[in-house]
Amino acid sequence: MAERILIVDDDVDSLKLIALMLQRQGYDIVVAKSGQQALDRAHADNPNLIILDVMMPDMDGYEVCRRLRRDPSTQAIPIIMFTAKTMVDDKVAGFEAGADDYLTKPTHPAELASRVKAILARSAAQRQVTAAPQAKVLGFLGAKGGVGTSTLAVNVGAALAKNEQVVLADLRLGQGTIGLSLGMGRATGMANLLSRPASDITPRAVENELVTHKTGLHLLLSSVRPKETLLNVAPDSASLILRHLRSISNLVLVDLGAGLTRLTTRILQEIDDVALAVEPNRITLTMAREILQEMGQLSIPASRISLVLINRAQSSLQIPWQEAEQMLGHEITAIISPAPELAFQAAESGFPIVAFQPNSIVANQFSKLAEEIAERRPV
Ligand SMILES: Nc1ncnc2c1ncn2[C@@H]1O[C@H](COP(=O)(O)OP(=O)(O)OP(=O)(O)O)[C@@H](O)[C@H]1O
Ligand SMILES: [Mg+2]
């Protein structure tokens, strides 16, 4: 069945032109000449996509967009704003009102056609994924850089991979140390996916970028090439990748790196649980407190956050865990002991500590945490 597109424009010539162009591409076209008509048609005709003019006499496109987004029956319809306005502020207003894409007039027919195709493909892919059974996604976030977040993610992942399908995704573009620590430093799967248009990020494309470590852990890796840092990552694309990973595997782990960014803030709101890695010193704990507060504001329940205290250095000058708990107002789920030699040797060997020395104290600590994580999951 042809996909239906609702075109909204008070300028009849412009309306006819776009309608004709898209009709030729095989779409089923519905039109509206005012904001109110647009709302009526959106309800009556249930279109797959709406192309919306901004400047209209009765109700402008931003308002139409906001109303469509508020209404559960029209909320999920993709919207492309189509307007003569070219100021950046107008684009921002469009996105804030809930538009998915923006086109300025006059637009080349080929550009219009390709945007329409891309948006329709993306929303079809999203429908497909939401219908699939959902695996759990667990994020690993450092309160500060260098506290041992990636080591934690890799070891928990490798411990879990003994019994089930696990994928570990590294969102640290350009700083992807996970690949290096596992002797797979050349893989650039995450960047390969994120540099594509969202419509090309299909479950199969994601699967093709996975590599498997000798421990059985599947990986979607970032590399340490500085170029990757320059990639302008669309949070939508990252979120789409995670949804595809969910459909491929039982359990998905994500290395989110340190601190909150625009990207990680978005991802945190979509995943099930997060492990926050902290070090027992005042600076890191203060940063952790700020992050916990911010996560509270994002309505992430405290019950979904596990605090992991990592002691990388053997020192009597560290803050005791009870004091850290008090300072953070949050229970500590696991404590990892210092193991500098072991951490070094494991990284040199290209194996996680849990595989390199499975009977060591830290390996047991990682494995116990992994078990707790596996148990907490609803089956
Ligand atoms: N329990 C531990 N004891 C001693 N050293 C450790 C321990 N855990 C990790 N390390 C070491 O600490 C260093 C930093 O670890 P890692 O790369 O996991 O941190 P990170 O928080 O992910 O850093 P980044 O912010 O760069 O991503 C590494 O050299 C690692 O081998
Ligand atoms: Mg790291």
**Domains, in order of start, for the chain:** 4-131 (3.40.50.2300), 136-376 (3.40.50.300)
At residue 129, the pLDDT reads 60
Q: Which residue in the block uniquely carries the two structure tokens 């000449």?
A: 33
Residues ≥6 apart with Cβ < 8 Å to 207:
244, 248
Residue with the smallest CA separation from ligand 1 atom 6 is 312
Which residues does a 6 A CB cutoff place in the pocket of ligand 1? 142, 145-151, 172, 177, 257-258, 310, 312, 336, 338-340, 343, 347, 362
Which listed ligand is nearest to 144 at the C-alpha?
1
Q: Which two tokens stand for residue 90?
A: 């107008």
Confidence (pLDDT) at 378: 53
**How many other C-beta atoms can be found within 10 angstroms of the C-beta atom of residue 28?**
15
- Closest-lying ligand 1 atom to the alpha carbon of residue 311: 1
Tens of pLDDT, residue by residue over 248-281, are: 888 999 999 999 999 999 999 999 999 999 999 9
- Supply φ then ψ for residue 187, to 5 degrees: -70, 135
Q: How far apart are the CA of 195 and the centre of ligand 1, in A?
A: 28
Question: Above 90 in pLDDT, residue 139?
Answer: yes
| 277 CA distance to ligand 2 middle (Å) | 11
How is residue 105 annotated by DSSP?
A: S
> To test ligand 1's pocket by mutation, which of 156, 172, 312, 335 has the most ligand atoms within 8 angstroms of CB?
312
Q: Does the structure show a pLDDT above 80 at 130?
A: no
**What Rg do the C-alpha atoms of the chain give, in angstroms?**
24
- What sections of the chain are H helices per DSSP? 12-24, 35-45, 61-70, 88-97, 109-131, 149-161, 177-181, 189-194, 203-208, 226-229, 235-248, 262-270, 282-297, 321-328, 340-349, 353-356, 361-376
* Strand 218-220 versus strand 251-258 pairing type: unpaired
Rounded to the nearest angstrom, the distance between the alpha carbon of 150 and the centre of ligand 2 is 4
Instruction: Give me ligand 1 centre to Cα 47, in Å.
Output: 50
Rounded percentage of the chain residues whose pLDDT exceeds 90: 71
Going by pLDDT thresholds of 50, 70 and 90, the confidence category of residue 132 is: low
Question: Interior CA angle at 95 toward 90 and 101, to 5°?
Answer: 100
Protein residues within 5 Å, CB atom, of ion ligand 2: 150
- Amino acid, single-letter form, for residue 137: V
Locate tokens 């979120």: which residue?
239
pLDDT confidence tier of residue 233, bands split at 50, 70 and 90: very high
Q: Is 88's pLDDT higher than 80?
A: no
Angle subtended at Cα 217 by Cα 169 and Cα 284, rounded to the nearest 5 degrees: 50
Proximal ligand: closest to the CA of 279: 1
Pocket test for ligand 1, best of 149, 151, 367 (most atoms within 8 A of CB): 151
Q: Given pLDDT bands bounded at 50, 70 and 90, which one contains residue 379?
A: very low
The residues with which 336 forms a beta bridge, in sequence order, are 310
pTM of the predicted structure, to 2 decimals: 0.70
Q: Give the C-alpha separation, 305 to 287, whole Å.
A: 15
CA–CA dist 129, 125 (Å, integer): 6
For residue 142, give the ligand 1 atom closest to its CA.
21
Q: Are 27 and 48 in contact (CB under 8 A)?
A: no
Nearest CA to ligand 1 atom 25: 145
Q: Cα of 330 to ligand 2 centre, how many Å?
A: 23
